[in-house]
Amino acid sequence: MLPDTPGKPTPVTGATLDERIANAKKQLDAHFVETVRWHFNPETGTPFWLEKAKTFDFNPLTDVKSFDDIKRFPIFEDEWLRGGPVRKWVPKAYANRGVYVFETGGTTGLPKSRIVIDDFKIDYEMMSDTLPDQYFPRGSNWLMLGPSGPRRLRLAIEHLAQYRGGICFSLDLDPRWVVKCIKDRKIAEANAYKEHCIDQALTILAGGHEIKCMFTTPKLLAALDEALRNGKLEDKYRSLGKAIPSGGLRSIKATGITGIFSGGTEFTPQFTREAYEEMLDNGEVYMTPTYGNTLMGLACSKPIGPEDGFKITYYAPQPRAVAQVVNPKNYDEIVPYGGTGRVLLTTLTKEFFVPRFPERDEGEREPPYEKYPWDGVSGVRPFSEIAGSTVVGVY
Amino acid sequence: MIRIPALRFGKPYTSLDKATLIHHATGEPVAEVSQVTGSQIARDVGTCARARKDLAAIPIKDILAIYKKAADYFLNGTLPCGDAELTFADYVRNLSATTGSPMVFCDRNARKVHYVLANIEEVIGGLTRGLDVEALDRGYTLKNGRMQAFYPTTDVFGAVLPSNSPGVHSLWVPTLAFKIPLLLKPGREEPWTPYRVIQAFLMAGMPAHVMAFLPADHAGASDILRLCGRSMAFGDDRTMAPYKNDHRVEIHGTGYSKIILGEDEADNWEKHIDLFVEAIAANGGRACVNASAIWTPRHGDKIAKAIAERFAKMKPRAWDDPACEISGFAKPEVAEAINKLIDESLKTPGAVDVTDAVRGTPRLVKEGRVAYLLPTVVRCETPEHPLANKEFLFPYASVIECPQADVLKRIGYTLAASVITNDAGFIAEAMACPTIERLNIGALPTNRLTWDQPHEGNLFTHLYKQRALQLADGHTAHV
């Protein structure tokens, strides 16, 4: 087990939900003010924001009193993240730290780049605290069946496994290639690549590494399930001269995997239900959907299941990130509970400040609940005004 | 509103994601159809090896009897449709409501499906070229002392079906008689016919686990074509391009069907006008066997004008009017796009919309929620004009003058060609023409089909391959 990375926020306390909601708001207000002062302080601040502040009609160091003041900041444009120099995003206080750069997009043109020092570790350690040990046993090994390359997920899952005392196996998977194939309508090539990825996963599973936990995307989960049902892991065992365990290896449960952390692309209740009922032996293998991206971090979901129609509700890792559901015509207006709006993300860490970034998604605003006493978002799906104009979230 | 589940080889499945179908004219919701995902399709296809064995074990005479009964239920029965029960008239009404195809066309096409069910032996005879049906039980037959043996090429036949042409359902109906399980992905707006045929089969005694009704999105359709050992799919050239060289997929795409007048018949064009109009406009002009071009050595202007005069009399009528001759577009934006494409193409010199002048009103008509495209004939000066070799979802044809000596070299792919001539030499050339799939010699419209000859692909040769088989004395075999 690894020790906690410094910077994890204190859990919100309170005897009642109302008290917890109030405390969470206080925590967010304080954290917001502290983060803004950090990024706009000439000693510690971020070169990009120090330059941008010259165009503001307010002083971030003195005029920001609570999270409501987020509206004073301009809507974050993701174009700002395309192209360098990437150092403009590194806070002066961290100039001598080792810096990672994670990318998103980039099938054509410049990808968006985000610098990271420890944020991914903190985010995934917070996420780890939500995982039930029964299904994600401490010390067990992981399979990272997801994108490799310059992505946050690749390192983050490895850190999650290590944080929980395990070792993570991963594969080569380039989603940009798959997006190119799909854009060029090379469906057979895209399918062949998917099979290549699944074959790598099967090789790892056949290797006797006692893997019990897995990260994967919805599409790759379905592809792995299909391969297992078609006896591909049994074939792999045979090709390696290994005996097939009694009971076979034709389901995810049969491989020994007990917990799945899934995300990376759109997660629908329909898919969740299918996974629960038809791939994961009616929930015997635990799956938790997540919503996140390179810019924000990781939003966890309320536990899913048949009792609430497999509804998926995400809660951002406040106070380090905030997800608001807003009127797409007026980002200052938060929609009522149950109302539909565009997801507006804010990232508030000492490494990275992203105020009010309009995500490519829409959803319904959800009320706070015990575990996450702040607003959530359900029914996340591609924003209807841009859906269909782009190939998103292949793997 | 009717709630229609998916049928996953015997198991009804109500999904969380559903497609809502609305009435093309009123906008009222008519049905809510459960959807399945590609991975569910993959899981279900995995059950088909056993289903095929179970189906193979049923004697063909019993299966043919089931078809006969199913034919009766299909036409005369009140059959379940999700949480409703529908008579044939109800079914036709719903079919018309969601597709925009007039009731009179829907009724006519549904009766084609009934015909195939009721006359399955004739249809099988046509597809197998007279093979003894018992070969389907034994896997072989001895005809005149000659061994003919076959083996199935797949455990399941997938059909990715369209919404705009209910007549196509007659093509997949014989599948179960060939003892191959059937997976149907209905067109979004046309769940009615596949569901009703399955219900008729169930009521007639067909095992439920050999049939599936799996509504899905485009990705699901791709998964069906990827996973089924044999399949058929309907779509335009662009949609079908990835499968062009996939022998497992029988493509039913754009037909580019044509009428070709020989030198000897060109001067007799007036007596063929009825035939031209029928070939272009019958059944709403949407089928791949509807003619989309008339090639003639001369009199192009007169032919175009005469057809235009007939077309000008065709008016939009309500979807339930028995005199309906043209289909409405349930999605008006589709009609608008087609209309715009034609208008843009007419800006290229060398083509005239002859109907425009004769009719004197616009081609595009909007009435309430529905759009119509009125039948159109375009006179093209050359075969190279962008409108010369086009096919649209409404009665449309170009008229092109071309010398007989050149015509067969220039027509390009032609699903159905009617070559009107008595010239033995020209007939011989047409018989040898490799770009014509279905050939009619003489005054026959392109759309007139015979059930004993499939016009596009052959289901039997798609589902079975011939093999050499020897049986030592005293041995028999069965599938």
User: Which tens digit of pLDDT belongs to each residue from B206-236?
Assistant: 999 999 999 999 989 999 999 999 999 988 8
Residue A170: inside a domain: yes
Residue A186 covered by a domain: yes
Question: Do the chains contact at A279 and B35, CB–CB below 8 Å?
Answer: no
**Of residues B153, B162, B287, the one with CA closest to residue B221:** B162
Supply B135's token pair: 């070969």
B223 lies in the same domain as B262: no
Q: What is the CATH number of the domain that holds A34?
A: 3.40.50.12780
Distance from CA of A74 to the nearest CA of B (A): 37
Count: domains in chain A: 1
pLDDT tens for residues A226-284? 999 999 999 999 999 999 999 999 999 999 999 999 987 777 888 899 999 999 999 99
Q: Among A259, A46, A294, which residue's Cα sits nearest to residue A151? A: A294
Nearest CA in chain A to B36: A270
The C-alpha of A271 sits at a distance from chain B's nearest C-alpha, in angstroms, of 8
Reference A255, options A277, A276, A236, A274; nearest CA is A236
Which chain A residues touch B226 with a CB distance below 8 Å? 187, 191
Interface mutation target, options B16, B17, B222, chain A, most CBs of A under 10 Å = B16
pLDDT tens for each residue of A179-206: 899 888 888 899 899 999 999 999 999 9
Q: What's the CATH number where B247 sits?
A: 3.40.605.10
pLDDT, tens digit, 9 for 90 and up, residues B373-412? 999 999 999 999 999 999 999 999 999 999 999 999 999 9
Calculate the average pLDDT of chain B: 93
Contact B42 A273 (CB under 8 A): no
Instruction: Clarify whether residues B39 and B175 are in a common domain.
Output: yes
Could you tell me if residue A6 is inside a domain? no
ipTM: 0.74
Is A354 inside any structural domain? yes
Rounded to whole angstroms, the Cα distance separating A282 from B48 reads 23
Check whether B181 has a pLDDT greater than 90: yes
B479 located within any domain:
no
Given this model, what pLDDT does residue B452 score? 66
Domain check: are B29 and B163 in the same one?
Answer: yes
For residues B161 and B270, state if they share a domain: no
**Is A389 a member of any domain?**
no
Q: What is the pLDDT of residue B55?
A: 97
- The answer to whether A223 and B42 have CB atoms below 8 angstroms apart is no
Q: What residue has token string 């350690």?
A: A125
Mean pLDDT over B308-328 rounds to: 92
Range of the domain at B351: 257-441
Q: Does any domain span residue B343?
A: yes
Quote the CA–CA distance of A35 and A64 in Å, as a whole number.
Answer: 10
Q: Do A226 and B241 touch (CB under 8 A)?
A: no
* pLDDT score recorded for residue B350: 95
Q: Which helix (H) or strand (E) holds B440?
A: strand B436-441
The rounded distance, in Å, linking the Cα atoms of B360 and B84 is 46
Q: Looking at the structure, do residues B390 and B248 belong to the same domain, yes or no?
A: no
In a domain, residue B148? The reply is yes
Q: Does the pLDDT at position B456 exceed 80?
A: no
A8 part of a folded domain: no
Residue B329 has pLDDT above 50, yes or no: yes
Amino acid at B357: A
Q: State the pLDDT at residue A395.
A: 56
Same domain as B235, residue B287: no
State whether residue A8 sits within 8 Å of chain B by CB.
no
Residue B190 and residue B99 in contact, taking contact as beta carbons nearer than 8 Å: yes
Three-state DSSP at A255 gives helix
Task: Provide the number of structural domains found in chain B.
Answer: 2
Nearest CA in chain B to A223: B39
Q: What is the pTM of this model?
A: 0.83
According to DSSP, residue A132 is labeled -
Residue type, A352: F
> Which ranges of B46-102 would DSSP assign to H, the alpha helix?
48-56, 60-76, 88-99
Does residue A218 have a cis peptide bond before it, meaning omega lies within 30 degrees of 0?
no
Residues B6, B148, single domain; the answer is yes
Within-domain flag for A298: yes
For residues B434 and B294, membership in a common domain is answered with yes
pLDDT score of B330: 82
- Extract the residue ranges of chain A whose pLDDT is less than 70: 106-108, 386-395
Whether residue B296 is found in the same domain as residue B170: no
Whether residues B185 and B288 share a domain: the answer is no
Task: Say which amino acid occupies B374.
Answer: L
* A288, β-bridge pairs: A261
Instruction: Name the residue with higher pLDDT: B280 or A106.
Output: B280
> Helix-strand-coil percent breakdown of chain B, rounded to 5?
40, 25, 35
Does residue A252 lie in a domain region?
yes
Helix-helix angle B60-76:B120-128, to 10 degrees? 130
Q: Is residue B289 part of a domain?
A: yes
Least Cα distance to A259 among A141, A158, A122, A120 occurs for A141
Three-state DSSP class for B329? Answer: strand
Report residue B121 as tokens: 């032996």
Report d(CA A214, CA A227) in Å as an integer.
Answer: 16
Give the CATH number, domain containing residue B361: 3.40.309.10
Among chain B residues, CA nearest to A308: B16
My answer on whether omega of the bond before B29 falls inside 30° of 0, hence cis, is no
Check CB contact under 8 Å for B16 and A229: no
Residues in chain A closer than 8 A to B42 (CB atoms): 222, 226, 229
Query: Is the Cβ–Cβ distance between A122 and A350 less than 8 Å?
Result: no
Nearest alpha carbon to residue A222 among A369, A394, A97, A84: A394
Q: Tell me: the pLDDT tens digits for B338-367?
A: 999 999 999 999 999 999 989 999 999 998
Question: A213: domain range?
Answer: 17-382
Whether residues B310 and B239 share a domain: the answer is no
| Nearest chain B Cα distance for residue A206, angstroms | 22
* Residue B280 contacts residue B290 (beta carbons within 8 Å): yes
Structure confidence at residue A392 (pLDDT): 47
Interface test with B, best of A182, A187, A268, A281 (most B CBs within 10 A): A187
Which two structure tokens, joined as six digits, stand for B162? 């369209």
pLDDT above 50 (res B170): yes
CB pairs under 8 A between A and B: 42
Nearest Cα residue in chain B from A192: B226
State the best of A182, A270, A307, A394 to mutate against chain B, taking most chain B CBs within 10 Å.
A270
Which positions in chain A touch B160 (Cβ < 8 Å)? none
Q: Examine residue B446 and state whether it is found in any structural domain, yes or no.
A: no
pLDDT tens digits, B24-77? 999 999 999 999 999 999 999 999 999 999 999 999 999 999 999 999 999 999
Return the number of other C-beta atoms located less than 10 Å from residue A164's C-beta: 23
Indicate yes or no: CB of B242 within 8 angstroms of CB of A187: yes
Same domain, B234 and B299: no
Entry field: residues in chain A = 395
Rounded CA-CA distance B91/B187 in Å is 16
